[in-house]
Chain A
Amino acid sequence: MSVLVQEAPFSVDQQQSLLLASTGGAGLVTFTGYLRDFSAQGAIEALELEHYPGMTERVLEELGAAAVNRFALRGWRIVHRYGRIEQQDPIVWVGVFADHRHEAFAGCQFIMDTLKTKAPFWKKEFMRDGRVIWVQAKLEDTEREHAWQEGVYE
């Protein structure tokens, strides 16, 4: 399995080691997404991530497979948390291995840009001032995902 969706915090080093142990390649590109401390709404205390068990894992598996086909990746791994996320905690980690840097960079970005709008996760922000806000989908994220569909970045 190259997809891990879990509530508990994870170690980026451990996830990278698991990817390295499973495949070869010359270029490794990884992305780690952390909880931001500030949004347009103000200072953020913590985050709660809801997801759709079953659909989430399937969407991420299909996304990894699509990235392999499109960018000739040698290996990939996607890790995403759900539940309550505290400051400094990684939320998401994507690692891809390819024979060349261009494919590795593009494959990792494709997975992240697509995951943002296609994987069934929903973020709820707990603000320092006590407000609780569901995060709205951003138009720029949708546009990025559409751009990949149209091949703009290749």
Chain B
Amino acid sequence: MSFTFADVAAVKNDLARVDYLSDEAIAGVVFLAERLQKPILVEGPAGTGKTQLAKSVAEMTGSRLIRLQCYEGLDEAKALYEWNYKKQLLRIQTERADDHDWAEVSDDIFSDEFLLTRPLLEAISADDPVVLLIDEVDRVEVETEALLLEILSDYQVSIPELGTIVAKQIPMVFLTSNNTRELSEALKRRCLYLHIDYPDMEREKEIVLTKVPDITENLADQIARVVRSIRSIELKKSPSVSETIDWARTLMLLGVSKIDEKVATDTISVLLKYQSDIKKASKELSTADGLSA
């Protein structure tokens, strides 16, 4: 059996190549997932690059990304497969004209030809390498989660009329969750668990440097510092990495080279999205000793 990655450092480098700055934990889990052939369940606050990780891994390995966006009310027909009902009807009608045997027809209409593959089945039956991303899995009901279990543990889908379809090659699977509810034990047990938190200052600075072209190191450093201070305040919603990047871009457009209090409070609405948060952060940033210190 051949593996794509030699060791953890290789994963990290490859991810950096596609502009995703990982850390030990992220690279380690991706490495392990490939070795153990297990799905990865990624949790963490919004906007820390959970979905991006899956995209980057796809890009890095040159695989096709198949994405299943979860929502409340997602069902088998949308996630796994569906019979192409209209086509089946047509088929039955044409057969009838030729006077065919019923058994023959019924065998015929439940075949591959009449099967509409949905993301999960598509990922399983793909010939080329794929990365399957099941996004925001916490949005589906607990009952629907059960749909995923077979595919996650055995990489196969059972279709009553057709039999079991086993994966031709094991895809990399990422599940993301915003933690709005506790996922079932059964699901968690089948996955490797990865929690992506806000990056530390050094890493955030690196991220800003890679994602925002032409930014000076000095400014990136200041941005990372201010964001860290804001995150240390108890807020409704702390600024995410993507918001940090937006802020960096804003500052670039404004031609700012040094962040002072005025610049920070003027543009803080890019970072924070709640009025109460903005008020609180502006107030705290302008007091030297800070309540959280």
| Binding between chains A and B | no
Question: Which residues of A are at the interface with B, using a C-beta cutoff of 8 A?
Answer: none
Question: Which residues of B are at the interface with A, using a C-beta cutoff of 8 A?
Answer: none
